Structure 1
């Protein structure tokens, strides 16, 4: 049996290549060094694993002075638990050994895109997680994106906003206070995050609030309202419920507009893309943005195609599935040369 692992900075995700086993563990790798224990528990949960396919983004955690040290840290922890390990590179190939760490920086989205090429050769892939969003155009079986995070920030295919962990003070400069009929600048502190916004508005619940809270306190709607009030230096009782909901809606609309603007930028560049695939724990946010897209596109939500659990850990599922096929063809470079 093949297990896919996607080891990120905030979450470690696992899936069997057939999708029957899935797991996601919140593990902020920059301060929590339990990766080996988490992987050991995954091995215990899925004892029949024979081979492991790995993608990673956790090397970017600022606990590592350089990303290459993060790659080695993750490699050592994986190989302390699993015997037969294959690493997926930014070239779209599997490697048994890591000789050049840079080839393995943040390759998880590439695995997802290649997996979706089973369904179509021209599409836009949108994967919104707790922290970041990938927006990847694919035309005629070629990925039309740069490969590194730095280059993707520049070309817009990596947008550093997510559905949970994004600090709301990075999203907006001011919010409207209804009782004063005026806008108030917000405090540039990490008082609240997007999980609080979506919790207040009912888009997620405590179970979906999978990351830690900014103040280390509870995840109830009332807890989220207390945190949101702080962005304008208020206590909860200083603002009405209507005002807090209005603030949350304003912040939500800013994130949706950011997504909409980036998505339409790529769709307007070509007439060859008619299909859109959407994945991730933030699929519900992308769904709101796509309501503003006209009806010319065939929009496919991976929660409908594969189920919600697979959608939220799609790179882990994808990399396991890709390794399975590569081994059947006896060619670890079967998926190479997929970029424009």
Structure 2
């Protein structure tokens, strides 16, 4: 019988962030880390992020479970090339026998086997979270709202019941919504907005992001926004108001702060409406009971909670799967913020014991 290792690290290799969750042999979280990693600028950013994580965690007997979405960045010619490059990078840093790569339906594979199955590995991180949820809850919809995307994944009877697997299939099925609470350009949320008594068209420019919206509504977690702002200026409410104003061809001084806060609330509602419509379509399949809950995850799970209320369903937090978790650092990420990393570590731990 396999001997449990002291610790598993779950790694989620994203295009903009590296997320890591450390679990002890009992499955309790010891640490949760999120590091900026602009992968599209080069693999050296991943190397640097890995070293930052290891420097924070210290050297201990550890095995590594890896999932990813970073293969989608335009650093790579195609997704298969990206998958193999990211696996190779992890192998370069850790002995192959200590690494397992999550391959969705195929489970956790040795690096060589995973490199031979890039279609199963590519962007399968949502499947890890949903599979863990399906093991512990009778049914529900996993709603993981991150910095860039939102996953809406139904599960029941111990199984993930998503209709899509790859990104394109999931987009077509409404199970992947390319909208998050930090990096999404404001121009992607609406074509026009009410302002000053008129409907005003938004400029099709990357002047502001959803981080500016939720900074003005007061809901953006302090640790969630790790990348530079759209204009490289400070991440303050005043600077966010200025970026939103630019979307209308204005300066922030053109209106009182309350006007920009009202605009932010309108755009937040537009994003929520998009998610609610996607969830309504998913629920119209009739596969889940009327009281099936929403299981919220991601740095934007405050929106998942609001979505549950709008749909008239109970809300559960993904962190409930990790009862007894160690408290996070002040203003730092929690397990639910990094659900795929936590899930792949737990799946690996359960498989090894």
TM-score, structure 1 normalization: 0.90
What does residue 90 of structure 1 align with? 104
What does residue 132 of structure 1 align with? 149
- Shift in CA distance, 206/275, structure 1 to aligned 2, threshold 3 Å: closer
What does residue 110 of structure 1 align with? 127
Kindly state the Cα deviation for residue 242 of structure 1 after the two structures are TM-superposed. 2.6
Aligned partner (choices 63, 82, 85) of residue 51 of structure 1: 63
What does residue 37 of structure 1 align with? 48
**Helix, strand or coil: the match of 1:166?**
coil
Kindly state the Cα deviation for residue 135 of structure 1 after the two structures are TM-superposed. 0.3
What does residue 73 of structure 1 align with? 85
Rounded Cα–Cα distance in structure 2 between residues aligned with 1:304 and 1:323: 19
Q: Does 1:238 align with 2:254?
A: yes
The more displaced of 2-11 and 208-217 is 208-217
CA offsets per residue over residues 165-217 of structure 1, 9 Å max, x none? 10000111111122xx1111110000000000110111126544333211111
Tell whether the 8 Å contact from 1:206 to 1:220 is kept in structure 2 after alignment.
no
Aligned positions of 1:1-340 closer than 5 A:
1-17=7-23, 18-32=28-42, 33-44=44-55, 45-83=57-95, 84-96=98-110, 97=112, 98-145=115-162, 146-178=164-196, 181-204=197-220, 206-270=222-286, 272-273=288-289, 274-294=292-312, 297-303=313-319, 306=322, 309-328=334-353
Rounded Cα–Cα distance in structure 1 between residues aligned with 2:65 and 2:58: 14
**Helix, strand or coil: the match of 1:176?**
strand
**Helix, strand or coil: the match of 2:220?**
coil
Which runs of 5 or more residues in structure 1 are unaligned? 329-340
Rounded Cα–Cα distance in structure 2 between residues aligned with 1:206 and 1:326: 35
Tell whether the 8 Å contact from 2:206 to 2:230 is kept in structure 1 after alignment.
yes
Tell whether the 8 Å contact from 1:3 to 1:49 is kept in structure 2 after alignment.
no
Rounded Cα–Cα distance in structure 2 between residues aligned with 1:81 and 1:66: 23
**Helix, strand or coil: the match of 1:20?**
strand
**Helix, strand or coil: the match of 1:16?**
strand
- Shift in CA distance, 10/312, structure 1 to aligned 2, threshold 3 Å: same
Tell whether the 8 Å contact from 2:147 to 2:224 is kept in structure 1 after alignment.
no
Tell whether the 8 Å contact from 1:185 to 1:232 is kept in structure 2 after alignment.
yes
TM-score, structure 2 normalization: 0.87
Kindly state the Cα deviation for residue 303 of structure 1 after the two structures are TM-superposed. 4.4
Which runs of 5 or more residues in structure 2 are unaligned? 1-6, 326-332
**Helix, strand or coil: the match of 2:231?**
coil
Rounded Cα–Cα distance in structure 1 between residues aligned with 2:247 and 2:265: 14
Rounded Cα–Cα distance in structure 1 between residues aligned with 2:220 and 2:321: 21
Tell whether the 8 Å contact from 2:13 to 2:66 is kept in structure 1 after alignment.
yes
Rounded Cα–Cα distance in structure 1 between residues aligned with 2:19 and 2:69: 11
| Root-mean-square deviation over aligned CA pairs | 1.7
Matched residue pairs, number? 324
Rounded Cα–Cα distance in structure 2 between residues aligned with 1:125 and 1:205: 20
Tell whether the 8 Å contact from 1:53 to 1:85 is kept in structure 2 after alignment.
yes
Structure having the higher helix fraction is 2
Tell whether the 8 Å contact from 2:308 to 2:314 is kept in structure 1 after alignment.
no
